[in-house]
């Protein structure tokens, strides 16, 4: 195991913990509107500025980082083994 493997592994663990924290901080949607993703128009108008919207954006960004790091670690592991 090289230094890069260890660093990427630590960053992967931190990213996964942060994703779990962000998802658990989001409000849960209940009812039929949660299934279809529907919200009232008044909520949609200000959705980009709410706390929940910031949590959703952060979750999406961290998920992309997590998958990119996973692919990177896999590629590094394949060529260093």
pLDDT at position 45 is: 59
Residue for token pair 């663990």? 13
pLDDT at position 13 is: 93
Question: Does residue 11 surpass a pLDDT of 70?
Answer: yes
The tens digit of pLDDT for each residue in 18-45 reads 999 998 888 776 655 555 555 555 555 5
Per-domain boundaries in the chain: 1-25+49-81
CA atoms within 13 A on the CB side of 9: 8
* Residue in 57, 44, 15, 63 with CA at minimum distance from that of residue 7: 15
């Amino acid at each position: 195991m090289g230094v890069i493997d260890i660093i990427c592994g630590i960053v992967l663990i931190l990213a996964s913990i942060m994703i779990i924290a962000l998802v658990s901080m989001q409000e849960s949607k209940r009812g039929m509107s949660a299934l279809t993703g529907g919200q009232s128009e008044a909520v949609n108008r200000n959705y980009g500025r709410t706390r929940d919207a910031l949590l959703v954006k952060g979750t999406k960004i961290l998920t992309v980082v997590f998958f990119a790091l996973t692919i990177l670690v896999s590629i590094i592991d394949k060529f260093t083994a």
